[in-house]
A and B are shown apart, each in its own frame.
Chain A
Amino acid sequence: MKNFANLFTRLDQTTKTLVKVAALVEYFEKVDDVDRLWAMGLLSHRRPKRTVKTSLLREWAAEIAGVPLWLFEDSYRVVGDLAETIALVLPPPVKELDHSLAYWIEEIKSLKDLTDEEKKERVLNAWSGLTRDERFLYNKLITGGFRVGVSQKLMMRALSQYSGQEESAIAHRLMGNWTPDNTSYADLILAENPLDDISKPYPFYLAYAVDGSPENLGEPGEWQIERKWDGIRGQVIVRDGSLFVWSRGEELVTDKFPEYHPLADLLPDGTVLDGEILPFANGKPLSFNILQTRIGRKNVTKKILESAPVSLMVYDILEFEGEDIRQKSMDERRQILVELITGLPTNNIIILSETLEFDTWEAAAAERENSRLHLSEGFMLKRKNSPYQIGRKKGDWWKWKVEPLTIDAVMIYAQQGSGRRANLYTDYTFAVWDEEKLVPFTKAYSGLTDAEFRQITSWVRKNTLERFGPVRSVKPTHVFEIAFEGINKSSRHKSGVALRFPRILRWRKDKPIEEANTLEDLKGMLAVYG
């Protein structure tokens, strides 16, 4: 664990990618195959299952620290991270337990079938023999919430340097269904043909946002322009008569979308499509909210299939007749895709994403303004002569989103931030006018500078009306412009509306609270865009 803790500290201490990659390469060189594979797994979101309830961990930590449980919980709320809170409140270690990363992961997995008392004994023993940094990682592993400030991309770059293989080859090898339990470093990285695993998806190509206007991207004619759909990015694979559906989070979601199952027969073997899993009925897309009711459910019931139906809005083809065609141009791939799809009785399971043509960017911009009416988030721009790239790369694919909706609202509650901003009031609840009353309608974060957060924090301290645990109600005084991507009806909210991706755009120091928007204004937006 010492090597891994050291790696983690080094990754955490820098924002520079070169330094991060160097630290990873050094780690890969230092450890054995098993630890290397586990590190690769952890850095690509393959973590061991939770074997101890977090409520028990909290109790034990409070007990060992000699503080009441409520105080531990309040501290956790400030820190914002359970593993870190536990690591900090525990007394210093009394011995040294020096084992490998793989040892600790096995140790944690072996807790699964023990009684709570036995688990406690083992966990307390680990805590008493690990340093603060090691404990933090042990806690991360045991709570099953392992996340590091290093992208999978950097890990792959480091692995590429370490193994001497191309980054794209590494990326492909690391896709798919493996876990450190069902493979080995040799099988995963050194074996001959990674396509042995017929479910293996290709890495997605991810777009950057257009910076301002697309004027300097050249002529609109060089670009394939499509609407940007508001669903879940998905990859559909048909090989050897079997169907696999992957979401962008590299999750195999085949079972969650039975609508797609006929594709196993419909599409020829050796086909891989890239598209959007989109809520869809009666020839048009539905709101993303509807899809959300389906995500996260264990069982897809008949009722859900009826209330939240999906189609696949397909826009690219990566493998055709068993051949990887990602190096062909967008134009050529589009042609293959069109020929394949239009010949099939897809019955709306698959819909071909429409391409739009414009003579000028102004004309494109004008049509983009209508995006919300199509339940789309804007446009996608894809360079016609470009190959399908790996990961997020600038240059060939751009998202050109519509401007967010905005509303001016009054801050009425403030809460201290967790984790990243534990000592500042950063989380606010906002209200709009309903006649004489202020009705809360959303929470929003971010978008302010550190100096502004400090200013508001000091203001909140002096203008608190009431305290409710970590939340303070404050004198309605400040107006903020809130931006959001969409608006929906909601029975759970007092205001009757729920916003999508609300965030603070800026502090309207120029506006008195009387000039904030009204509930009526929100309802007007709901009528148009909801």
Chain B
Amino acid sequence: MKPDLLKFTPKGIYCQAADVYIDPWKPVPRALITHGHADHSRWGNKAYLATDIAAPVIKYRLGNIKMETIKFGEVRTINGVKFSFHPAGHILGSAQIRVEHKGEIWVASGDYKLEDDGLAKPFEPIRCHTFITESTFGLPVYDWKPQEEIFASINAWWRQNAADGKTTFITGYSLGKAQRILRGLDTSIGNIYTHGAVENINQVIRNQGVSLPGTIRITKETDKKLFPGNLILAPPSALNSAWMKKFKPVSIGVASGWMTLRGPRRRKAADRGFPLSDHVDWKDLNKAIAMTEATRVIVTHGYSSIFSKYLNEKGIQASIENTEYEGELAEVNESAEENKVDAAAGGSE
């Protein structure tokens, strides 16, 4: 039997034939990075390769790193192994990595979603023998409503708050979710203020030539009388922080796939929960796998044991590999780190 083209090692997903890692969680000489979220692009690797669209944010977050870029669809051959990056639809610049060697094709999909959010290049199904997938929302109870519906309810909530003289405070992780929300907001209702962590990412993205609605960064000097009626966009870590005390009277909303369930929605102690996710729901997860025509699937983070059992029953050979990717949970934590960095730099209180 041929050895697996990609192996799960204590450092990350490893391609021995090319001696490179995909989204490693321990420092390695050469890392291929699917996207800029903290659980996929970590500090400490000697060399990085990511799409030209994902690169600016990764560089912003990791500082002075050795970074090469690649275009979607471009093929890079390393020791005879062909690598190419293809749109994953997860966040701006996010990629699935296709690996081909001696006629065998693997795809490491990182994080992905099928719904076109207008920011990330839409998910492109890649035919392959083995597909590596996450299963953050790999249960049939996760069934996203169309984003238009979610944005309509966010805007209706904002409108009502404005009529009540309240500030609207909504959280989504600062890379990806925040910009997606931003583009769904009805700017005729009021102004959009941003937490420093969100605004820093906005700037990186605007500098790439992507247009986002106008935002105002909140600083120590911002007059708090300006907030009522308007909306504040912040990372989840800002919830319950001292920083957010100045926004009263306020109505708080959380945008996350976890908000599908009543329990997490109530536990947040937020006023509203909006089920909006940058990961696939159950039906799209199954649809994506079917489109790859893969005969073997490796399930990483999420409801991996349940989902792999389901695939096996359907006749798709599936197994679980433990990784240190953590789906939307990690993306929440990532914002927490950014928040700390930001606070230390004095960007926001």
Contacts and interface: CB of A to CB of B under 8 A. Distances in A.
A307 interface: no
B319 to A, nearest CB: 13
A419 B261 contact: yes
Interface string A448-468: 000000100110011010010
B271 A418 contact: no
Interface in A1-26: 12-15
Among A68, A418, A423, A464, max chain B CB count under 10 A is at A423
Interface stretch (A71-79, A183-191, A271-279): A71-79
Nearest to B253: A13
A75 B142 CA distance: 10
Interface stretch (B175-183, B191-199, B305-313): B305-313
B322 A75 contact: no
A462 B324 contact: yes
B262 A84 contact: yes
Contacts of B139: 71, 74-75, 78
A13 B306 contact: no
A418 B143 contact: no
Contact of B267 (A74, A81, A421, A467): A421
B140 A464 contact: no
A454 B328 CA distance: 12
B115 interface: no
Contact of A79 (B141, B266, B306): B141
A89 interface: yes
Name the interface size band of chain B: 20 to 34
A67 to B, nearest CB: 5
A75 B281 CA distance: 14
A328 B322 CA distance: 68
A256 B272 CA distance: 45
A464 B322 contact: yes
B271 A14 contact: yes
Interface string B128-145: 000000000001111100
A71 B285 CA distance: 15
A461 B300 CA distance: 11
A420 B140 contact: no
B215 interface: no
B111 interface: no
Nearest to B237: A451
Interface string B262-302: 11111101011000000000000000000000000000010
A419 B262 contact: yes
A65 interface: yes
Contacts of A80: 263
Contacts of B227: none
Contact of B326 (A417, A422, A461): A461
Contacts of B301: 461
A89 B141 contact: yes
A421 B305 CA distance: 19
B329 interface: yes
A72 B329 CA distance: 24
A149 interface: yes
Given A419-B262, A420-B267, A423-B329, A71 B324 contact: no
B335 interface: no
A85 interface: yes
Contacts of A71: 139-140, 306, 310
A422 B263 contact: yes
Given A78-B303, A421-B267, A462-B322, A12 B262 contact: yes
Given A71-B306, A79-B141, A458-B326, A422 B264 contact: yes
A438 B22 CA distance: 39
Contacts of B142: 88
Contacts of B309: 70
Contacts of A13: 271-272
Contact of B266 (A149, A423, A458, A464): A149
Contact of A423 (B141, B258, B322): B258
Given A67-B140, A74-B306, A423 B264 contact: yes
Contacts of A70: 309
B333 interface: yes
Contacts of B339: none
Contacts of A12: 262, 265-266
Contacts of B329: 423, 454, 457-458
A188 B18 CA distance: 80
A74 B310 CA distance: 11
A61 to B, nearest CB: 10
B260 interface: yes
Nearest to A416: B303
A15 B269 contact: yes
B140 A419 contact: no
Contact of A467 (B258, B305, B332): B305
26 contacts: A12-B266, A15-B271, A67-B310, A71-B306, A72-B140, A75-B139, A75-B141, A78-B303, A79-B141, A81-B263, A84-B141, A84-B262, A85-B141, A88-B143, A89-B143, A417-B263, A420-B266, A420-B267, A421-B264, A422-B258, A422-B263, A423-B264, A454-B332, A461-B326, A462-B324, A467-B305
Shortest beta-carbon contacts, A-B, top 4: A419-B263, A420-B263, A88-B141, A89-B140
